[in-house]
Amino acid sequence: MKVRQIIMGILAVVILLLGVGAMKGIGGMKKEIPRKPVPKQVKSVKAAQVKVTEVTTRIEITGRLVAKDKIELFAEVGGLLIGESRRFREGNYFRKGEALLMVDDTEAKLALLAQRSSLLNQITLILADLKLDYPEGYPKWQAYVDAFDPEKPVKPLPEPSNDKEKYFISVKNLYNLFYNIRSQEVRLSKYVIRAPFNGVVSQSAIKEGTLVRIGQKLGEFFDPNVYEMEAAVNLKDVDFIKVGNQVKLQSNDVGGSWTGTVRRISNTLDENTQTVKVYIELSGKNLKEGMYLDAEIKGNIIQNSVEIPRKLMINDSSIYVIKDTVLALHKVKPIKYTTSSVVVQGLPDNTLILNESIIGGYEGMRVNTYGLETQNPKPETQNPKPETQNPKPKTQNPKPETK
């Protein structure tokens, strides 16, 4: 039994070894199927050939309109409002010199007439003394009395012929009376408030027949033809602006556009916002005080520069250029940012750059180009030229190689 078991074990081992050898032989007879090479992906990208030139900077701002000529009216005298005050209502138009408001000046006029009469009486009393003691000055004073009219503003007193005559006139208190009258004449003129320029009433705080108190606010008056827009400009952009720069303005609520001019630039910096106030003067139809406008200031010119879409910047210091169908990073110097674009220096003329942002782009990536432009690439917000004006090269949209 033991010999038989040994023989059966040896036969099993031999059969197993023969099976393994047969499988290897059959496997060696199969031919290895060659694998096809995986084609490399070549991405088609939009390119642009830059033109180095001079670029006019643009600063985008927003501000509110206020009338350039606007005044608040206050009462300098007291009394009842009369006459033209019935027209002093919001929206009413007045020409320069027209009466805006009138306060009853009857009492003030009578008091002034009394003062003028007192002056005439005082001069008449000294005429006899002047004729005897200062005969050289007497004719001037006599002529002054003859021409004196209490209903009209007083004329300047005659000049003394010498110091003695001057002292004599002073002792008689004539100069004091004269200047008191002149003061009352100036005060009397304040009972009528006249328009200092052509304009419109924007606020009326009083009605006819109301008793006016000294210092009381009566309303507001402004010129609706010329406006100023106050806008805050970032400190880094102030160097690109100067007085006289043109400004293009538009409103989100009213159609059309307007052209303005930078008139003033503040020297004060807002420490909280790090901005500087810029004042723009403009005029035109459909403008209203209080309107908010979007503006674009045409600033200084940057030489040897290119304006490109802001989205092309990599880490605010580089952009992708295309060299022999391969992407490469190129260092540039950003000079001026706007909402959608950036002006840069450091690009050689006619450099081929990537004109779109791509996902997964990297330095050394192989690309095919299309949509080649021969001028400065512009931000997408600007009106692009029709495709028929920029014919595409013959190699547009090539199919990836299948080698």
Give CA–CA dist 366/258, Å, rounded.
Answer: 48
**Residue from 111, 108, 123 nearest 155 by CA:** 123
Which residues is 341 bridged to in the sheet? 309
Backbone torsions φ then ψ of 151, nearest 5 degrees: -80, -10
Query: Which tops the pLDDT comparison, 209 or 12?
Result: 209
Question: Could you tell me the residue ranges of all domains in the chain?
Answer: 44-54+303-389, 59-67+225-301, 70-105+191-222, 107-189
Report how far residue 247's alpha carbon sits from residue 57's, in angstroms, rounded to the nearest whole number.
Answer: 12
Q: Is the pLDDT of residue 280 over 70?
A: yes
**Cα(127)–Cα(142) distance, integer angstroms:** 7
CATH number at 44-54+303-389: 2.40.420.20
Residue 305 tokens, joined: 């520069």
Q: Is-contact 281 68, C-beta < 8 A?
A: yes
Alpha helices in 103-251 (DSSP H): 106-133, 138-147, 163-171, 174-189
Q: Counting runs of H as helices and runs of E as strands, what totals does the chain give?
A: 5, 21
Phi, psi (degrees; rounded to nearest 5) at 158: -60, 145
Whether the Cβ atoms of residue 367 and residue 322 lie closer than 8 Å to each other: yes
Q: How far is CA 53 from the centre of its chain?
A: 27
Q: Which pLDDT score is estimated for 40?
A: 61
61 strand-pairing partners: 295
Domains 44-54+303-389 and 70-105+191-222 share a fold: no
Region 261-289: mean pLDDT is 92
Residue-wise pLDDT for 38-85, tens only, equals 456 678 888 888 899 988 888 889 999 999 999 999 999 999 998 766
Residues 133, 45: Cα–Cα separation, whole Å: 109
Q: Which CATH number fits domain 70-105+191-222: 2.40.30.10, 3.40.50.720, 2.40.50.100, 3.30.720.110?
A: 2.40.50.100
For the record, the structure tokens of 109 come out as: 């006029």
Sheet holding 367-373, edge to edge: 326-331, 318-323, 352-354, 43-49, 367-373
Is a pLDDT exceeding 50 seen at residue 394? no
Q: Mean pLDDT across the chain, nearest whole number?
A: 85
pTM of the predicted model, to two decimals?
A: 0.64
CATH assignment of 59-67+225-301, given 3.40.50.300, 2.40.50.140, 3.40.50.2300, 2.40.30.170? 2.40.30.170
pLDDT tens sequence across 119-163: 999 999 999 998 988 899 899 999 999 999 999 999 999 999 899
**pLDDT of the residue at 225:** 93
The pairing of strands 275-282 and 257-270 is: antiparallel
